[in-house]
Amino acid sequence: MTVDSAGDLAPPAPASKEELLVRVARGDRSAFGELYDQIAPRVLGLVKRLLVDHAQSEEVTQEIFLEIWQSATRYESTRGGASTWILTMAHRRAVDRIRSSQAGRDRDTKIGIRDLAVAYDHVAETVEVRIEHERVEKAMNRLTQLQRQAVSLAYYGGFSHSEVADMLQIPLGTVKTRLRDGLIRLRDELGVAS
């Protein structure tokens, strides 16, 4: 305590934030309380300006003071003032929360888009399939009887070239020639580019 000009005892001057941080680093709880009282409104104000949401701002501020308590030993007065160290920590923590929230929203959006049922027009799909089927049927009718028979067995029946040769009792090379010629003709009839 100091004596003022009137001879009365004056309360001691409050400790600086730098002194309080040194004491907090040694585990002094009362110093932590004093530091909290001195800087908490500024920390909350900074965090709230970044996060906007009051509840999240309070939560982040609490995390910041927990971090101050746990990491006060890392504070170096030669590198800057205590307020700067604490407010930099607060800014970083608030920005981390913003990024985390954004990442969560992005993840939810991606999942939502993935799970979104795309409108499916069954009538249009059926019509397209029917029209395509008719085009293929017309093109198949333009093949020779031998080509149509080989293509039908191989592609509609699912038989191998050897099985088609056995079924038609013709050489394998002949089956391959009929299939090749038939497919070329189908491609030309359907207007498919090779």
Residue 1 reports pLDDT greater than 60: no
How many residues are present in the chain?
Answer: 194
Q: What is the largest CA-CA distance in the chain?
A: 128
Please give the single-letter amino acid code of residue 19: E
Read off the pLDDT of each residue in 33-42 and give the average, rounded to a whole number.
Answer: 94
Distance, in Å, from the CA atom of 20 to the CA atom of 26, rounded to the nearest integer, reads 10
Per-residue model confidence (pLDDT) at position 7:
58
pLDDT of residue 15: 86
**pTM, rounded to two decimals:** 0.51
**What tokens appear for 111 in the block?**
């999942």
User: In the predicted model, what is the mean pLDDT of the chain?
Assistant: 87
State mean pLDDT over 83-108.
Answer: 90
pLDDT at 13: 74
How far apart CA 176 and CA 193 sit, in angstroms, is 21
Helices then strands, each counted (H, E), the chain: 8, 2
Which DSSP helix (H) or strand (E) runs through 10? strand 9-10
Residue 10 confidence (pLDDT) above 80 = no
Average pLDDT over residues 34-62: 93
Distance, CA of 62 to CA of 100 (rounded, Å): 17
Position 107 scores a pLDDT of 85
Give the number of other Cβ atoms within 10 Å of residue 64's Cβ: 24
115 or 63: whose pLDDT is higher?
A: 63
Q: Treating both helix axes as pointing N-terminal to C-terminal, what angle do 82-115 and 29-51 enclose, rounded to 10 degrees?
A: 50
Query: Above 60 in pLDDT, residue 132?
Result: yes
Q: Which residues contact 87 (CB under 8 A, 6 or more apart)?
A: 42, 43, 46
Kindly tell me if the per-residue pLDDT of 23 is higher than 60: yes
* pLDDT above 70 (res 33): yes
Please compute the mean of the pLDDT values over residues 95-101 and round it to a whole number: 90
Give residue 114's pLDDT band: very low, low, confident or very high (50, 70, 90). confident
Residue among 50, 65, 49, 36 nearest 96 (CA)? 50
The CA distance from 42 to 61, in Å, is 10
* Confidence (pLDDT) at 6: 59
SS3 102: helix
Which pLDDT score is estimated for 9? Answer: 67
Confidence of residue 39 (pLDDT cuts 50, 70, 90): very high
Q: Which pLDDT score, from 0 to 100, does residue 3 have?
A: 52
What pLDDT is attached to residue 170?
Answer: 93
